[in-house]
Structure 1
Amino acid sequence: MKSEKSKESDPPQNETTTAWYEPPPYEIHSSGKLLASTCTLKDDGTLDIDFASSAPDELANALPEYQAVVVESKPPATLHRQCPPLNVVVQVVGSRGDVQPFIALGMALQRYGHRVRLATHDVFADFVRKSGLEFYPIGGDPEDLMSYMVRNPGLLPSLESLKGGDIPRKRRMIYEMLKGCWKSCVCPDPVTQEPFVANAIIANPPSFAHVHCGQALGVPVHIMFTMPWTATRAFPHPLTNVKARNIRQSNANYCSYGMVNMLTWQGSGDVINKWRVEDLQMDPVHTSMGPDLIETLKIPFTYCWSPALVPKPNDWGSNIDICGFFMRDEPVFTPPDDLVSFLRAGPMPVYIGFGSIVLESATKMTEIILEACKMAGVRALVSRGWSKLGGDNSSTGDVFYLEDCPHEWLFKQVQAVVHHGGAGTTACGLYNARPTVIVPFFGDQPFWGHVVASNGAGPIPIRHQSLTSQNLADAIKFCLTPGAQQAAQAVADQMLRENGVNMAVQSFHHHLNMSDMTCDIDPQHAADWMCRKPKSKTCMKVSHAALKDLITSGQVKVSDAVPHRPKEYNMDIERWDPVSGGVSAFIGVMTDVTSAIGGTFVNPFREYKKTRFAGGNGGEATLSAAAAMGKGVASMGTSVTKGTLVGVPMAFAEGFRNAPKLYGDDIMDHGTVEDWKSGGVVAAKTFGTGFYEGITDIVTKPYAGAKKEGALGFMKGLGKGSMNMVTKPGSAMFGLVAYPAQGIYKSMKTLRKSTVESTVRSGKLASLERCNPSLRARQ
């Protein structure tokens, strides 16, 4: 009989080639003239990053242009038609404090007529449903997640966790939640069995599934979060400590975000790609795109904090809004008699609690809190939280141990608050003008600690590892000073003028393309289907109700309609030139082949071991190993064929096509390859215009340049024309092979029955069956 520990070390029964048990290489050391960097992973999971440059001016020019203009923090009022009711899934990974702001958002979305499903961890089912929102479980244990995050305050694991076996559990948890997030987009309600297919997705970044689910469904995605996730020169990534040598600090700040993204992708990219291939039946995301996918695709982003505390940086684009904290309506709460008696028995107490944080030693923390309260001379309301502060201790004359209690009511009863610095708790304290001591553990908590301190509403945050009775007592005393109380009141006055959730809903609506989302027959309803117009070859977007009417009247058949995809995401790699494009494609092919070769030798052994571990005999284990070897050989053949016929030629074709951009010339768009037919069309257009322009540009470019800028323009045009004699015919030649091959590859993928498409269609058909044609009130 194997021990529990040895069971944990065996591969899962459904394992393919994902190395669950191998810690990712969380390190980056690069050297170069433009940017040299050294990253060191600290024991607390944060990063020390050292940037240097031998050409700082060139680096500054290489970064996206900085617009030093005054930027409006609030989203502009939408100019589009009114948003129709949508099925909105809100995907949230985190603690109760992470979930609570999105409950406020969900309730606001409901007031606008949307059907809102909050998809998060199973343990929050009652919390979500009691708020009047639909709930869908995505798996994952938030208590285990919080315990992991206390040991690993950054998004990256500490050295202790790398050695202690946390990695496979965390990576498996991510995989479980990815699968749950996809199901939350297309599966019926677990309780009512009401069908559901999402028209839009709102998510926080740690849910990871957002953009990929959006691509599979063809629906818009909107990211909302409580900490900076978008690169800016204004401040570094909150999980980093940045040093800049011979480089502007602002540029180092900007680069820190890319560094964290790369390291995060190192730890989760293979898990995400495994899920994409197996569950979503889509190609894996290329390593060069994965880390910065959200920014590359210009996904709309709403930050839910007060712009009065952290204004919108000037280098954030129009797709980013800061809307204010998400404050829910104060819930109805009747305090227990013993709590009321405690509050009346003396001066206003101080609140101390760490919510969902799972402490390593609740006993030690309790001792620190009690001693600090004595030193500061204050009474205290201590929230037991998930760590059960106080253990079995009973409340005394100066200390009252709280169970679950809404902060909206509670913070009105205290004179200061001490907590971990979650965005929701921080917002609630400041909204009620309560000076705040933040003891951060991980994530955005240090960031909010420094924001509070910079506004004078609390002391410098105290890391939980450094917390003592003395510094906690000093921090509480600081909060009781008139200066801190006045600063907290000033912040509260600003927040009272904001309405974060309503502004967030406006932001969500503003970034939707309403013309793509609405029914052509009845714009007051969302378009869920595409079908041909009666007696016409053109297509139209229709709602469930409109389609049912068309079917009932005999104008169209169910088989004529396909699920509508209002938003498409292009995750193909953009090749900037033939050299780097060709080299990267060749490396990619070699990586795939090497991985397949490795799987051919490693997977048979794994399958043999798993079969024997499951109780199979030697013959069954040998058959399993042989099947795994066959899969490895097939994978190797597929990688070679796809790489040589599609990947490498496409890289050269696109590299030559895009090369004129590097010297300021325009390129012609010949369309998108969707199938074998469009692949041939794009190849023909590229071939014809490539050779024609490659020859004529040597005349037309100098002439146009001279006409515009005289002799200097003539020389520029001559240079462009000379380069185009190589790049455009080069694109034409490689495109003659690449585009048809890509079209054939996509057509072959389309021929295979997609369970994803079947699932989406089945969900929409179920909604169609339940639809009442009388919903079409206005035509």
Structure 2
Amino acid sequence: MLEGKKEDDKSQSDTRPSWQRGTVPSEADDSDDIDWDAPPPYEQYFGNDQRNVSTTLEDNGRISMFFGGAGGRYPSLPPLPVYDPRVEQVRSSAAQSYPLLNIVLQVVGSRGDVQPFIALGQELELVGHRVRIATHNVFEQFVQDSGLEFFPIGGDPTELMAYMVKNPGIIPKFATIRAGDISKKRKMISEMLKGCWRSCIDPDPSTGAPFVAEAIIANPPSFAHMHCAQAMGIPVHLMFTMPWTATRAFPHPLANVQLADTDPKTTNFLSYGLVDMMTWQGLGDVVNHWRKNTLNLEPLPAMVGANLANYLKVPFTYCWSSALIPKPFNWPSHIDVCGFFFRNAPDYNPFPELDQFLRAGPPPIYIGFGSIVMEDPHQMTRIILDAVRICGVRAIVSKGWSKLGSGVEHHEDVLFIGDCPHEWLFKHVSAVIHHGGAGTTACGLLNGRPTAIVPFFGDQPFWANMVFSAGAGPRPLDGKTLDASTLATAIETLLHPSTIQAANRISDRMRNESGIKSAVRSFHRNLPIREMHCDMVPRQPATWCWKKGKRTLKLSHRAASILVEHKKIEASSLEIYRPKPISIENRRWDPITATTSAFLDGVVDVGSAFGNLVESPIKEYRKVKSMERENSNLSSLSHSDSSTLSIRSGKTGMTGSSVIGQSAAGAAGKAVGRGFEKVGMAVTKGVIDLPRAVADGLHNVPALYGEEVRDYGEIRGWKSGGKVGVKSMGYGFYDGYVGFFTQPYKGARDGGAFGLVKGIFKGCAGLLTQPGHAIFGVVAYPALGLYRSLNTAHVTGAQGEILIAQKEYGIFLAETDRMDKGEVERVMKDFDEMWLAVREV
């Protein structure tokens, strides 16, 4: 996942917020209740009498998964999707009229991760969108040189790289915990989450031009994407070079699956859920803390948080060539494989030493490990030199972040070089050996170069195995056991005619692909285009909504500005429009587990609120007292200084220490008030959640034996809560009593005597559970809607920031985007006609 070269650009100024400086949060901020040093689980066991599944961390950082028990029963795989070409035609035709959007590309990783998104951003700008790339501060110059907007999210890719090399998988080693690296990495992720959120609503740091994201494209490791999209109600689209979606075809790249008389397709599929769960257990508390305190969103339970992309059916575009890995059959239509992202080859003139070396003999092999930070680069240098000598070949070695070749004097057959564009260099070599970054792998195969990979972490083992399976290179090389003999054998395999032919076959197919253009088409196909368009101005995205009676108008900034300016509507009547509202509910599977989990969640929430009620005032008192003592430096103040302080405080006769004490006491008092408010909300939520959990659990009982359950819609406020309550009341009794008679008939019709028995069981179960669901639901759902209406967090905090950002952006557009007279007249005419039609109805 992480590859590329180190950038020299650092943070612009120490006066910037911590999330812009790339620093970690202090211990005094609102994250004190997070245990930053808490390690993720090193071993998990999921077992019962029928199945035995365990996961263990291996020495190389990957997750070993054991699926044991001959004949063990595992959850049945979901059915394969049925491909309907009509769906694809509708999606493709709708995508032709996409609105012109503000798009933020959120990318976490190294230069090699950022570079494909720069190419994507340039293509998106070419088709009319405004694009901002939000990534680490050190890539500011790299992004801006490409002509795109840049926004810093913090985080240091060099530190991330060093951490990943020491801990190749998703779970760290004990030595890393002892060194304190866990805390540092978790705090860095917390800062990047905050930076990603600011990238959606903050002005451009360089120009000050306002910006509000209308769509998000991200790579999964940026983590913030779906949560930011939920807060803003906008579309999100994930793009990645590594499989992140469950498939039968191959296991998760970070999983080492050990089979024990178990169907490989089943274990491949399950490996994705297990990796997601262990990842969430390592970072879920950090993400939930950020959701709650920054975005004003409810924390996610583990089963939802770990499976969120699949739960929300987030569109996914995988950036690899189908010539190397075809799209698995079980991936639905909102998941695409589009091809590798290649930027236009930069103009490059080789420096004299490189030019002379290439002309001095047959094409050399390339060896380089990019941004990998090795523990012993001198040993790797010796291995390379010995292997080259054994094979009698010439080599160009990239020094990379490990600075290979340091201390080596002139070598006749080996040239050590610094940064050089792979797009140019790989045209002049015979084969390539590298760490297996997706971009480097793609560039080598595009040029028909046989490829040997020494994987270190992330998706690198995956690409090493895919290249080997395609016949374009040797088996993956283990960097820890690599020696000159092993590397020499790999070089001989690379230069074998059959390996060269396989690489050329892949190259021929890749040259007919256009990954970036296909990715842009994939993005447009998956947009909710009808919901995003302004009703008045073509191709403008809707930002505001105006309601009159039963009619709702979706208005862009431009349309709203025209109508307000000409007094057709009042500005106060406009509301923020959410084209892609995201609802995340904790799915309840049965009444027993639902009630238990709701009760435990309520106890934890109330306990946490009471704990905060006790701790928060003390923290606030100490913080204010400490800060004011430091600022005023009372120990060195004279009597006159103290008098001045008294006058400025507006309280004559009071000493500086009295002012400080009163100020600290006031802060503590406010904290007590906030604490009681949190306790009240936690108790209210707990009282509501318990009957709601019972209602949900009873409602979903038919799903346990394969029946579909009704979807009553999302509860956003008291109106929708009341509607859902009425539906649950009516359908609950109806489904329960009608099903008692119809289920036995259906069972006998479809399954004979055995089906009759099953139908009787289903009918009795429905008769027992669905009326109960109706009774609990008619109370719980309206109460939940009322709670969400009264909970004002959604109109302040993050939602307040969105409102302010939209207003500033609207003012900016009004000042810079000049509208012609014809457009103004057309908007007012269309509005008058629409309003006339509404009044006639």
Question: How high is the TM-score relative to the length of structure 1?
Answer: 0.91
CA distance in 1, matches of 2:302, 2:809: 38
Give 1:255's aligned residue: 270
- Over 3 Å counting, the alpha-carbon distance change for 1:693 and 1:472 in structure 2 is closer
CA offsets 1:498-546 (integer angstroms, 9 cap, x no match): 111111111111111211121222332222221236xx64112122222
CA change 1:550–1:493 in 2 (3 A) is: same
Contact 2:24 2:188 in 1 (8 A): no
From 50, 56, 64, the equivalent of 1:48 is 64
Task: Tell me how far 1:654 sits from its aligned partner.
Answer: 1.2
Amino acid at match of 1:416: A
1:314 match: secondary structure: coil
Q: State the distance in 2 between where 1:86 and 1:257 align.
A: 33
**Counterpart residue type for residue 55 of structure 2:** C
Correspondence for 2:458: 443
Q: Is the 8 A contact 1:68 1:315 kept in 2?
A: no
In the alignment, residue 125 of structure 1 is paired with which amino acid?
A: E
Which of 483, 503, 523 is matched with 1:508 structurally?
523
Aligned to 1:38: 54
Measured in 1, the distance between the counterparts of 2:456 and 2:85 equals: 32
1:539-574: per-residue Cα shift (whole Å, max 9, x none)?
121222222222232212222222221112221112
Identity %: 48
Choose the corresponding residue for 2:79, options 50, 61, 65: 65
Note the 1:367-386 alignment, pairs <5 A: 367-386=382-401
Deviations 1:3-47 (A, max 9, x none): xxxx99994544331101222333211221343222111222111
- Asked if structure 2 preserves the Cα contact closer than 8 Å seen for 1:17 and 1:603, the reply is no
Cα deviation for residue 711 of structure 1 reads 7.7
Contact 2:277-2:302 at 8 Å conserved across structures: no
Which residue number corresponds to residue 79 of structure 1? 93
Residue of structure 2 aligned with 1:774, choices 798, 819, 822: 819
Distance of 2:707 and 2:485 partners within structure 1 = 66
- Aligned residue among 555, 561, 565 for 2:574: 561
Residue aligning to 2:202: 187
Is the Cα contact below 8 Å between 2:277 and 2:303 reproduced in 1?
Answer: no
TM-aligned CA deviation for residue 337 of structure 1: 2.6
| Partner secondary structure for residue 288 of structure 1 | helix
Aligned to 1:118: 133
More displaced 10-residue stretch of structure 1: 520-529 or 198-207: 520-529
**Which shifted more, 767-776 or 157-166?**
767-776
Given the alignment of the two structures, is residue 580 of structure 1 paired with residue 596 of structure 2, yes or no? Answer: no
Residue 642 of structure 1 is matched in structure 2 by: 685
Q: How does 1:101-180 map to 2 (within 5 A)?
A: 101-180=116-195
Task: Give the distance between the partners of 2:684 and 2:81, measured in 1 at CA.
Answer: 46
Q: Distance in 1 between matches of 2:750 and 2:40?
A: 54
Pick closer, same or farther for the CA change 1:664–1:345 going to 2, 3 Å. closer
3-state SS in 1 of match to 2:134: strand
| Partner residue in 2 for 1:204 | 219
Match of 1:681 in 2: 723
**Which residue is 1:363 aligned to?**
378
The equivalent residue for 2:361 is 346
Change (3 A) 1:729 1:76: closer
1:4 paired residue number: none
Flag the 1:161–1:609 CA change in 2: closer, same or farther, 3 A. farther
SS in 2 for 1:347: coil
Gaps in structure 1 of 5+ consecutive residues: 1-6
Higher mean alpha-carbon deviation, 8-17 vs 466-475, is at 8-17
Output aligned runs, 1:329-344, within 5 Å.
329-344=344-359
- CA contact under 8 A between 2:25 and 2:191: conserved in structure 1? no
> Contact 1:38 / 1:50 at 8 angstroms: preserved in 2?
yes
Deviations 1:595-649 (A, max 9, x none): 5566678878988998999897999899799998987776556434421x11111
- Among 658, 670, 686, the residue aligned to 2:700: 658
Q: Which structure 2 residues correspond to residues 660-739 of structure 1 after superposition, within 5 A?
A: 660-699=702-741, 718-739=760-781
The answer for the alignment partner of 1:328 in structure 2 is 343
**Equivalent of residue 228 in structure 2, options 193, 207, 213:** 213
Paired residue secondary structure (1:154): coil
Change (3 A) 1:774 1:688: same
SS at 2:819 equivalent: helix
Partner of 2:563: 550
Q: 1:504, 1:629 → 2: CA distance?
A: 52
Listed as ranges, the matches of 1:398-409 within 5 Å are 398-409=413-424
1:53 Cα deviation from its structure 2 partner = 4.4
2 CA distance for matches of 1:169 and 1:282? 25
Q: Give the secondary structure class of the aligned counterpart of 1:551.
A: helix
Between the aligned partners of 1:129 and 1:357, the Cα distance in structure 2 is: 25
Shift of 1:755: 2.6
Return the letter of the residue paired with 2:270.
C
Selected match of 2:105 from 90, 97, 103: 90
| Equivalent residue letter for 2:580 | K
Task: Please say if 1:240 is aligned against 2:258.
Answer: no
Cα displacement string for residues 279-327 of structure 1 (whole angstroms, at most 9, x for unaligned residues): 1011111122111111111111111111111111122222211111111
CA-CA distance at 1:492 after TM superposition:
0.6
| Distance in 2 (alpha carbons) for counterparts of 1:613 and 1:373 | 64
Q: Which moved more, 1:493-502 or 1:733-742?
A: 733-742
**In the alignment, residue 782 of structure 2 is paired with which amino acid?**
P
Residue pair 1:281, 1:756 contacting (<8 A) in 2 also: yes
What's the secondary structure of 2:128's corresponding residue? coil
1:694/1:272 CA distance change after superposition, 3 Å: same
- Separation in structure 2 between the aligned mates of residue 465 and residue 606 of structure 1, nearest angstrom: 48
**Cα distance between partner residues in 1 of 2:772 and 2:550:** 38
> How far is 1:486 from its partner?
1.6
Q: CA deviation at 1:399?
A: 2.8
**Higher mean displacement: 567-576 or 497-506:** 567-576
In the alignment, what sits opposite 1:746?
788
Decide whether the 8 Å contact of 1:11 with 1:610 is kept in 2: no
Measured in 2, the distance between the counterparts of 1:8 and 1:228 equals 30
1:269 to partner: Cα distance: 0.2
Structure-2 separation of matches of 1:161 and 1:344 = 47
1:230 counterpart = 2:242: no
Letter in 2 for 1:64: P
Alignment CA distance shift 1:451-1:16 (3 Å):
same
1:629 and 1:768 map into 2 onto residues whose CA distance is 39
- For 1:349 and 1:712, how far apart are their aligned partners in 2? 72
The aligned counterpart of 2:837 is: none
Q: Does the aligned pair in 2 maintain the 1:95–1:142 contact within 8 Å?
A: yes
Moved more, 581-590 or 706-715: 706-715
1:293 lines up with 2:336 in the alignment: no
Cα pair distance change 1:493/1:522, threshold 3 Å: same
Deviates more, 1:165-174 or 1:651-660: 651-660
Which residue of 456, 464, 473 corresponds with 2:488? 473
Residues 464-473 or 593-602, more deviating: 593-602
Work out whether residues 216 and 234 of structure 2, in 8 Å CA contact, stay in contact via their aligned partners in 1.
Answer: yes
SS of equivalent to 1:554? coil
Counterparts of 2:737 and 2:795, CA distance in 1: 45
* CA-based RMSD: 3.3
Deviates most, 545-554 or 205-214: 545-554
Structure 2 CA distance, aligned partners of 1:761 and 1:721?
50
Distance across 2 between alignment mates of 1:527 and 1:402 = 51
Contact 1:71 1:312 in 2 (8 A): no
Aligned: 1:389 with 2:412: no
Q: Distance in 1 between matches of 2:677 and 2:439?
A: 51
| Cα shift readout 1:104-149 (whole Å, capped 9, x = no counterpart) | 1111212211111111111111111111211111110000000000
| Letter aligned with residue 154 of structure 1 | G
Q: Distance in 2 between matches of 1:116 and 1:75?
A: 27
User: Aligned pair in 2 of structure 1 residues 710, 244: CA closer, same or farther (>3 Å)?
Assistant: closer
Q: Does 1:538 pair with 2:581? A: no
User: For 2:448 and 2:749, how far apart are their aligned partners in 1?
Assistant: 66
* 1:76, distance to aligned residue in structure 2 (A): 9.3
What amino acid is the match of 1:760?
A: I
The alignment partner of 1:59 has SS state of: coil
1:761 pairs with one of 800, 803, 811:
803
Distance 1:600 1:303 in 2: 47
Contact kept in structure 1, 2:186 and 2:286, CA below 8 Å: yes
Q: Is the contact made by 1:548 and 1:773 (CA closer than 8 Å) also made in structure 2? A: no
